[in-house]
Amino acid sequence: MLVAEDFFSWNARENKAIARLCSALDDVVATGKPSPVECYPESLTNREFVKIAVDLCTRAEVNVAVLGNGTKNALTLVPLRVTTAVRRRPASAGRAFGPLAAAGTVNDVVI
């Protein structure tokens, strides 16, 4: 759980936005589902709000994408999943391609 006070700055407008974003980030990380967040306070531009959200995600070290919405003063936080590469063992050449392929060399392929 993120504590908003850990990320506060000297700017009161930004602190209000950070408090709102911290609760939304907790929700995104806990549920694994995207979460729309409306800009508050409204004195921030959409660009400033997205900048604060990206900075917060970086400092909190969460794997979340920030999608800004230019028409509305809002953004969407989307969790990103990173999977490890699966190394598959190649089938023997004789079984996969017939007896003639067994005469050549077989290279490992990582998919």
How many angstroms separate the CA atoms of 63 and 102, rounded? 45
Q: What is the pLDDT of residues 17-37, one digit of tens each?
A: 888 888 889 889 888 899 999
Mean pLDDT of 101-105: 52
pLDDT of amino acid 8? 76
Torsion of CA 101, 102, 108, 111, to 10 degrees: 50
**Separation between Cα atoms, residue 2 and residue 19, nearest integer Å:** 10
pLDDT at residue 66 is higher than 90: yes
